[in-house]
Amino acid sequence: MNPLAGISLHTRLTLRYLLALGIVAVLTLASYALMDNAVSSEVLGARLLNVAGRQRMLCQRVDILVMRADDDAGDERLARLRELDEVLRELGQGHEMLAHGPAQALSLPEGSPALSILRGDEDGTEALYHDFVTQAGEWRTAMAQGRDVDKKAVGRFRQSGDALLEGLDKRMDALQRLGERTLENLRDLVKVLLGAALAGLLLIGLLLFRPMVAEVVRDREHLESLNRSLETQASTDKLTGAYNRRTWDVEIRREFSKARRQGARLCLVMMDLDLFKNVNDGHGHQRGDHVLQEFAERIRASVRESDTLYRLGGEEFAVLLPGTDIE
């Protein structure tokens, strides 16, 4: 049983339209959410790569400043050491945020894969960082005091810096691969959502709009059929099927006007059943109705398709014969 059978057509169409809009709205919101997630992931990945890349650049800058300060003397060395202090301070702040700061500061949820990469220490990068910063600090103190630096220490410092840069490079590569996997997964989800959207639109067309259009068409055809039936009832005599007096009053004027305008012939036959009252009185009105019906059928069978039969009332009939003269 159709649950909407007792509801008006207008209400049914409105409900189906609202349902279709709801499905489209859900698909649109889901698409927006996925797109927003994809954009956010891309922005976040770029930000994390920028932070990690900044740390790598600062490590390189520390290495360069230490080497140049060792070659300089006097005011130039002091300027290099001041710049080295600033770079070490910035390097330390960045490392503290990446290694120990709150996840919210990096726009990451706790336990996220990106956070695990940044704070993982399976390759000993944390120890390399502290060793690198410690040696840079010792060099800075020695150069500020004017002491010579051991050449073997230079080699250890350079090796420590190279190992740290290699570890940072690995982290950046891991972050980049994670970002690519995330975007790939989002791209697959977008494809799935696109397929779902197309399927949803197809289902909307098949299950909502197609029946709705069919129902509207059926309703319209039913209304047109009713209108034709009403027009027929209004223009014809129910008993005999001949046109009634109302139609006669309209068409007789139109046919005479048309004949005068075109100079055409027009004849009118007026008929009356003699002693018809005796039929009704002697055999009943039902038999009289049958006589009228039989009379109308015989007249229709005797005239052309272009001729028109009218029942003017009671047992009075008329036939309009356009294009016909009296002979």
Which residue intervals of the chain bear CATH 3.30.70.270? 245-322
Q: What is the 3-state secondary structure (H, E, C) of 56-89?
A: HHHHHHHHHHHHHHHHCCHHHHHHHHHHHHHHHH
pLDDT in the model for residue 117: 67
User: Has residue 253 got a pLDDT over 80?
Assistant: yes
Q: Decide: 72 and 139 in contact? Cβ < 8 Å.
A: no
Q: How confident is the model over 138-165, as pLDDT tens digits?
A: 777 877 777 666 667 667 777 777 777 7
Q: How confident is the model over 291-306, as pLDDT tens digits?
A: 999 999 999 999 998 8
User: What is the CATH number assigned to the segment(s) 245-322?
Assistant: 3.30.70.270
Work out the mean pLDDT of the chain and round it to a whole number. 78
> What residues contact 98, with CB distance under 8 A and at least 6 apart?
51, 52, 55, 106, 118, 119
User: Has residue 34 got a pLDDT over 70?
Assistant: no
- Confidence band of 82 (pLDDT split at 50, 70, 90): confident
- Confidence band of 226 (pLDDT split at 50, 70, 90): confident
Q: Decide: 254 and 242 in contact? Cβ < 8 Å.
A: no
Structure tokens at 183: 């975007």
User: Has residue 321 got a pLDDT over 70?
Assistant: yes
User: Has residue 125 got a pLDDT over 60?
Assistant: yes
The structural architecture, per CATH, of the domain 9-215 is Up-down Bundle (1.20)
Considering only residues 134 and 318, tell me which one the structure prediction assigns the higher pLDDT: 318
Which residue intervals of the chain bear CATH 1.20.120.1730? 9-215
